[in-house]
């Protein structure tokens, strides 16, 4: 089963790579290089997280803590960078982040099959929302907060993610209906988390949280949707008894 899933992941990456080639072939070489750097970094990130889940989930749990803690430091860094302006906004943002990070931690302690299912759905949504957005995105959703977010990207990514959930629902003990609900919530929370992270950056007038990940920026630039999406699954399992 794991081998089949990994082959599916590689197939998605091959499809995504072709999409990036079509997008970047007429762009300025410098811009195209940055896009390919982002794609390659994303490939390694996905592989690290995937194998940490399937081989030793405790490693994924450790990575979840690292991601969450680095995220806290990145929030504080921007707050300090702007000389501790907007204290009320920072405190509210930190409380919301800590709530999501707590959910993400409990998510990392669920059964590995459910973690893997959720992680794959989220990764597919994240990747294909970018690709479909660049190929078909014309209508901006929230241009003042996240200029690159488009309706085409959101719809395209959501369709790929939810359709993939139906293909991947055998990974864990869940019905098609349960898989669709979980996947839909993951998409919604991931998108909301991405927008919230972008909103925080706009308030402090920066492009990225840091430069820790080539092509992506900081940990919150890369893992905001994973933290939020994971917290949704934890909410379903621990609170809603889904």
Per-residue three-class SS string for 86-111? CHHHHHHHHHHHHHHHHHHHHHCCCC
| Predicted pLDDT at 4 | 78
- Residue matched to tokens 């949280």: 209
- Confidence (pLDDT) at 36: 77
Place of tokens 């204290």: 87
Which parts of the chain sit beneath pLDDT 50? none
Q: Tell me what pLDDT residue 114 has.
A: 95
What does DSSP assign to residue 147? T
**What is the per-residue pLDDT for 183?**
96
The pLDDT of residue 7: 83
Q: In sequence order, what E strands does the chain have?
A: none
Give this prediction's pTM. 0.92
Four-point Cα dihedral 219, 101, 9, 60, nearest 10: 90
DSSP notation for 29-66? HHHHHHHHHHHHHHHHHHHHHHHHHHH-HHHHHHHHHH
């Amino acid at each position: 089963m794991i081998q089949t899933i990994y082959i599916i992941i590689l197939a998605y990456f091959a499809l995504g790579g072709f999409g990036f080639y079509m997008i970047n072939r007429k762009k300025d070489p410098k811009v195209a290089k940055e896009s390919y750097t982002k794609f390659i970094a994303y490939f390694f990130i996905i592989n690290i997280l995937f194998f940490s889940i399937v081989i030793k989930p405790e490693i994924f749990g450790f990575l979840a803590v690292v991601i969450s803690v680095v995220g806290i430091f990145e929030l504080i860094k921007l707050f300090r960078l702007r000389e501790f302006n907007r204290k009320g906004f920072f405190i509210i943002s930190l409380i919301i982040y800590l709530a999501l990070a707590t959910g993400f931690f409990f998510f990392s302690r669920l059964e590995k099959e459910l973690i893997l299912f959720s992680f794959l759905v989220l990764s597919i949504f994240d990747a294909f929302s970018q690709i479909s957005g660049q190929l078909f995105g014309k209508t901006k959703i929230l241009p003042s907060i996240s200029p690159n977010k488009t309706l085409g990207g959101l719809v395209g990514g959501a369709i790929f993610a939810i359709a993939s959930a139906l293909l991947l629902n055998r990974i864990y003990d869940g019905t098609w209906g349960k898989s669709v609900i979980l996947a839909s919530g993951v998409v919604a929370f991931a998108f909301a988390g991405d927008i919230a992270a972008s909103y925080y950056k706009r308030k402090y007038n920066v492009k990225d949280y840091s430069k820790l990940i080539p092509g992506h920026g900081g940990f919150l630039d890369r893992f905001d949707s994973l933290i939020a999406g994971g917290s949704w699954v934890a909410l379903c399992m621990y609170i809603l008894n889904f």
